[in-house]
Structure 1
Amino acid sequence: MDDLLQVGIISSMHGIKGEVKVFPTTDDPNRFKKLKSVLLDTGRETLDLQVEQVKFFKQFVILKFKEFDSINEVEKYKGKGLFVTRENAVKLKPNEYFIADMIGMEVFTDEGRKFGILTDVLETGANDVYVVETEEHKEVLLPAIKECILNVDIAGRKMEIHLMEGLV
């Protein structure tokens, strides 16, 4: 499990005073309101940035960092990821998981047969959809509902599923 969790990607600049437009990679962009700091992965180093101001514009979050006061200082970070440590991540409710912890997990059927590897999680609104790469069926999409997903063991890196009729 990674120690850092991505919360957004700097997509462009916003104005000339050092604000950035961030595409959120978290399921609830309002979480940015509670962030005091984020880690910016520059590709060469990780910068600890203090969040000074948070605004929202369409699907984007507009952030102002204390460390930057002009567009020239932040422009070079376009396309770079913003992260938080696990300690600063949102607390999960029961049966909630970080996607980063699920990717690469082995998936087994309720009959004990290895089904495949979880490669992605699609957030659809109604419920998430788990993308499982299998040898037998190639890519299979599984709805993240209790009738289909029986058990998720993050520590053991295993998921148990029930293959509902029509999924394969």
Structure 2
Amino acid sequence: MFNIGKIVNTHGIKGEVKVKRITDFEERFSIGETVYVRDEKGNDMPLIIDGHRVHKQFDLLRFKEMDTINDVEKFKGSYLKVKEEQLKSLAENEYYYHEIIGCEVKTTTGEKLGIIESILSPGANDVWVVKQANGKEALIPYIADVVKQVNVDDKVVIIELMEGLLD
């Protein structure tokens, strides 16, 4: 299961929830799509979207047969998820976060830098946070001048060290 959004609150009294989107695919929230939320017993419960609109940088969703605030209040703080088979194919040189996190980073000269532990999305391009062997973090921009090769099968990323990148 992969997170696509977090329910941050309810919205109104007619069963809408306010969702902070953590996917690049808006179509995940299309009417008729199925998403999953973990219930209080730890089971993944399917929810069918029957309403979607965007309001103040949040997605407002309504689910089939959930017509009141009482039906959805229990979901506050929960993540909306999709199954692996619902993942979309990506274009060349595009990757899901879960494919990148955990990859070992090496330089073009073969030096091992560390492991990618998280990804930041500050603006124009993503930045990969690499935990180095010395415990320090290195911030690697995902741009063609730096990232030379990504092999998600072998969990290895090759980068070109630019001057000042590790300072």
Which among 43, 51, 54 is matched to residue 53 of structure 1? 51
Equivalent of 1:18 in 15, 20, 43: 15
TM-score, structure 1 normalization: 0.91
- How many percent of aligned residue pairs carry the same amino acid? 41
- Out of 55, 63, 66, which is 2:61 matched to? 63
For each residue in 1:115-157, what CA deviation from the matched residue of structure 2 results, as whole angstroms up to 9, or x when unmatched? 1000111112211111101024710101101111111111111
What root-mean-square deviation, in Å, do the aligned CA atoms of Structure 1 and Structure 2 show? 1.6
Unaligned stretches of 5+ residues in structure 1: none
Q: Which residue of 1 aligns with 2:38?
A: 41
Distance 1:87 1:34 in 2: 19
Normalising by structure 2, we get a TM-score of 0.92
> 1:55, 1:144 → 2: CA distance?
31
Gaps of 5+ in 2: none
Q: For residues 20-56 of structure 1, what are the alpha-carbon distances to aligned partners after superposition, in whole Å with 9 as ceiling and x for unaligned?
A: 0001011344542376110112351100110101100
Q: What is the CA–CA distance in structure 1 between the aligned matches of 2:72 and 2:134, rounded to whole Å?
A: 47
Aligned to 2:128: 130
Moved more, 136-145 or 102-111: 136-145
Distance change in 2, residues 1:113/1:46 (3 Å): same
Q: State how far apart, in whole Å, the 2-side matches of 1:130 and 1:35 are.
A: 34
Aligned partners of 2:30 and 2:49 also within 8 Å: no
